[in-house]
Each structure stands twice: as structure tokens, then as C-alpha cells.
Amino acid sequence: MNSPRDDVLIVGGGVIGLATALALVEAGRGVRVLDAGRVGGGASHGNCGTITPSHAPPLAAPGMVAAGLRWMFTPDAPLYLKPRLDPALWRWLAHFAARCNLGDWRQSTRSRSLILADSRDRLTDWVGRYQLQCEFAEEGLDYVFREQANFDHYARECELLHEFGITSEIFGGEAYLRDEPALKPGVAGAVRFPGDARLRPDRYVAELARALRERGGVIEDQCQVESLHESADGVVVATDRGARRAGEVVLALGAWSPQFANGLGLRLPIQPGKGYSITYSRPLVVPKRPMVLKDRSVCVTVWDSGFRLGSTMEFSGYDTSLNAIRLAALERGAAEYLHEPVGATVQERWYGWRPMTWDDLPILGRAPRHRHTWLAAGHGMLGVSMSAASGQLMADLISGRQPAIDPTPYRMERFL
Ligand SMILES: Cc1cc2nc3c(=O)[nH]c(=O)nc-3n(C[C@H](O)[C@H](O)[C@H](O)COP(=O)(O)OP(=O)(O)OC[C@H]3O[C@@H](n4cnc5c(N)ncnc54)[C@H](O)[C@@H]3O)c2cc1C
């Protein structure tokens, strides 16, 4: 039997699909979310949960091509490319490499900082308004360096960030250590971003889902969407549980978006950027706030409910293996910095696919040449940080309202 015709279908129940659904329901729309697995079970599950306007600079930066080539031969490097014949990957890399210059870096940084700043403010509002129990704390985030040259280089880059409204505080190693007993001696310096925050991402998605259901939104998990057809007045999607009809559809499929969009004649420049995390019980001595151990690119997040090491960026396609070398690199990196680098028990070893575009900007807006199909994907390394703004922007565009931020930089048309 067919389900009734919905107002808006959201395909993909990660942090972006759920945030879009919640903002739509708040705008008075009817919403059904469909997810092939369980909602929040994709990249949104085991990520580091940091909310980071400070991370506005994109991955494509001057010098990144040379660094990437060096790292190709280092299996535990923070950025790794598995060499293979894949035309979509090489096209993606060629565009990425072309953007590793100061002009494009600035352009991406500006557009990323706008959506990140809006999202940061909106998240505080959402946590209060919807009573989201997700271990949200507005305590800032620190970049910590043991290598003097890296610290000096980065402290200079922070000056560039002021141009984009990102404030930071610089600490010498000794001063920093006096206030942070979780760290071993030998810190060269640290940079604090007081505007950053953190939350527990699996709780955040669960709470978005709860708030959505309480407001009348419907969530169907274990419902794989196979194809989509537009008609004059709406869409029909075929799923493994029968057809679903709606006036509008939002594709929020994260790293799975390109395969699905291919069927609609849309070529989305998204590659899966694989990352890993290990979650432990909370050690006795933990950092006071989330930190990135910069020389090793390991992110450390602490909650009352646990402790997570995460990071690494691997372009290895849709590879589902848990790479032991990369997991070990997280623990090794943490052990260089922290007195207690791991907790007593491992709760989860995890990987996720970040949906990476080559300009590091999400794709938000109506799908080109489509009337009722919308795209909300490509959030890369910052989908949690950008979630509230992305959801609101999508809801405003679909409802024909004036959005809070200019949607132009995020439109799919920039790739055509
Ligand atoms: C190690 C790591 C650390 C990270 N740390 C941070 C961080 O600290 N801060 C931050 O902001 N971001 C972080 N990120 C990035 C963040 O996790 C992602 O940007 C974000 O989760 C993407 O959300 P999404 O909703 O687009 O995709 P996903 O969460 O992957 O959701 C896509 C959903 O689509 C569903 N789906 C797929 N195919 C179908 C289909 N055919 N039919 C129906 N449903 C389908 C999947 O089941 C999935 O639930 C990190 C990522 C990783 C890997």
C-alpha cells in the first residue's frame, strides 16, 4: 500500500537531513525523513563533535599539493590518498589542486565563515529552544603544538583569520601547561578559539530526531531510496518499502549523494573523505576543553559520558574497512601529548565518510533543471558545525522565505 502524499520528503537522516527537517517543521511544513539505515548512523554518528567557526579555512590551501604528494607514501599520515584508477577521483583532485592558491582559499574561507557563524549562533538557540540534551558546552577549542616551527607558522596564520571574524588567543608553552595538567611537558605553544564549542554528535542527532517527532515529523529508518521521478506537481521516490510521494524532496545523502544524483543526471563533485575515531570511557585526567593536537592532526573531545580521539583524512573511495594503522596513529599521536591518552575501556572503533567537495563548501539549494528536488550535501569536515544554518537555509529556500545568509556561494550551479 502506498503512503499518503507528504509535503516534503527528506532522503538521508544524518545531521543535515534532520536539521533541515526540524527547520521545515518549525516553518509549518509537513516532513517525512527516509534513511536506508538508522537515522544518524552515517558520518554524523562517531565524528568529533566540535563546533568550529575557527575551521573556516578550507582543505585546499597554498602548499597542500606538495604536502599531499609527500603524504601519499606515508600510510599513517593525516591526509592519505590511495592511488587508484578512478576518473571521478582524479577530476576531483585536479579541481582541488587548482584551488590551492590564496585567492580561492580566501573565497572559500569567507563563504565557510558566513555559514559557520550563523550556525554557531543558531545552535545555541536550538539547544535552548528544543532542550537538546547533547552535552553541548561553549568552552572554546585549543590547537596545541609541540613543534615550534608549526606553532610559529600557525600563530601567523591566525592573523589572517581575524579578517573573517575569527578571534583567537595565543599562549606560550609554559603558560599553557600551567593551566592544562592533562598535557605532557614539551608544548611549544597553543592557540585558543574562544568562540568554538562541542557536543556529543550521536546524542545531537538523537535529540534532533526527538524534537522533530514531537513536532509531528515522521521518520522511517531502514528504508532505502532507490530512485526518484519528478512529475509536474511533485515527486515519487521508489524505496525498498514501496513508493513515497511528496510535493518536494531534499537529498541529504552525505557521501552517498553522488551515486544517487547520477540517476537524476546531476554530477555532484563529492568524494568520501574517510576519517576514524576511537571512543573510550573517560580517563581520570582529561583536557579542560576539546583540542587538536596539531602536529599529529588528532582531535580530542571530552564529554561527561566519554572521551574520543578522531581525525585522519583518507581518499580511498567507499572503502568499509577499519584500518588498524590509522587507528593506531590516533593513539600514538595522543600519547605524545597526553598523560592519559586513552580511557580504560574502548567503547567504539569507528570510521565515517565525510562528503568532500573540492571547494570545501556545501551544496545547498534547488537541483539544477529540477522543480521539486533540492540538494543539501557536501559538508565535508564540518557538517555538525554547519548543521543548524544549513537546515534553516534549506527551510527558508523551500518555503520561499528570505534566508538569513546569502545562498549564492552554496548553489550547485557553481560547478556547471
Ligand atoms: C572522523 C570524523 C570527524 C569529524 N569531526 C567533525 C567535527 O568535529 N565537527 C563537525 O562539524 N564535523 C565533523 N565531521 C564531519 C561530519 O561528520 C559530516 O560533515 C556530517 O556528519 C555529514 O552529515 P550528513 O547528514 O551530510 O551525512 P551522513 O551523516 O553520512 O548522513 C547521510 C545519511 O544518508 C543515508 N543514506 C545513504 N544512502 C541512502 C539511500 N539510498 N536511501 C536513504 N538513505 C540513505 C545514510 O544511511 C546516512 O544516514 C567529522 C567526520 C569524520 C569522519
| Predicted local confidence at residue 85, as pLDDT | 86
Residue 246 Cα to chain centre, angstroms: 28
Task: Give distance in angstroms: CA of 212 to centre of ligand 1.
Answer: 18
Question: Within 6 Å (CB) of ligand 1, which residues are found?
Answer: 11-17, 34-37, 41-44, 47-50, 224-225, 252-256, 260, 275-277, 310-311, 352, 354-355, 377, 379-385
- Taking CA atoms, 152 is separated from 15, 106, 143, 189, in Å, by 36, 21, 12, 9
Task: Give distance in angstroms: CA of 38 to centre of ligand 1.
Answer: 12
| Predicted local confidence at residue 75, as pLDDT | 67
2 has a pLDDT exceeding 60: no
Q: Ligand 1, atom 4: nearest CA belongs to which residue?
A: 47
CA distance 51 to 381: 11
**pLDDT digits over 315-347, tens only?**
989 999 999 999 999 999 999 999 999 999 999
DSSP 8-state symbol, 371 = S
Atom of ligand 1 nearest to the CA of 379: 19
232 has a pLDDT exceeding 90: no
| Residues 6+ away with beta carbon under 8 Å from 293 | 144, 299, 300, 333, 334, 336, 337
**pLDDT digits over 89-127, tens only?**
999 999 999 999 999 999 999 999 999 999 999 999 999
| Predicted local confidence at residue 367, as pLDDT | 98
Atom of ligand 1 nearest to the CA of 376: 26
Torsions phi, psi for 250 (to 5 deg): -115, 125
**357 in Cβ contact with 269 (< 8 Å):** yes
Of all residues in the chain, the percent with pLDDT exceeding 90 is 89
Atom of ligand 1 nearest to the CA of 12: 34
| Predicted local confidence at residue 3, as pLDDT | 65
Residue 166 Cα to chain centre, angstroms: 19
Atom of ligand 1 nearest to the CA of 41: 49
**Residue that the C-alpha cell 537515522 belongs to:** 39
83 has a pLDDT exceeding 90: no
Pairing of strands 218-220, 31-34: parallel
CA distance 89 to 272: 10
